[in-house]
Amino acid sequence: MSQKEYLKVLEREIQKLNHKIDLKIIKGEDYRKEAHDHKLILRKIRFNTRKTFFQRLFPARNKFAF
């Protein structure tokens, strides 16, 4: 599975969890477990999309410009 596919899967999981959390909020139920899972998935997304220090320091605007 490529990184793009993995991120798409994580995005779908986030959307499902958001829907589940919304329904629980409407019903007045506890959604602590779902909120924790949501936080873990966001952490996975951030880990897989993070930039290195060098990439943040020198953003690649024109890689091939001379």
Domain that holds residue 43: 3-50
Q: Which residue has the tokens 């959604």?
A: 31
Express each pLDDT in 39-54 by its tens digit: 999 999 999 888 777 7
**Does residue 60 register a pLDDT over 70?**
no
In degrees, rounded to 5, the angle at the alpha carbon of residue 22 between the alpha carbons of residues 17 and 27 is 125
The number of folded domains in the chain is 1
Q: Is residue 36 part of a domain?
A: yes
Amino acid present at 8:
K
Q: What is the pTM assigned to this prediction?
A: 0.72
Mean pLDDT for 29-47 is 95
Mean pLDDT for 28-42 is 96
Express each pLDDT in 3-26 by its tens digit: 889 999 999 999 999 999 999 999
Q: Is residue 56 part of a domain?
A: no
49-55 CB contacts, 8 Å cutoff, 24+ apart: 49/7
Q: Is residue 63 part of a domain?
A: no
Residue 58 has what pLDDT?
A: 74
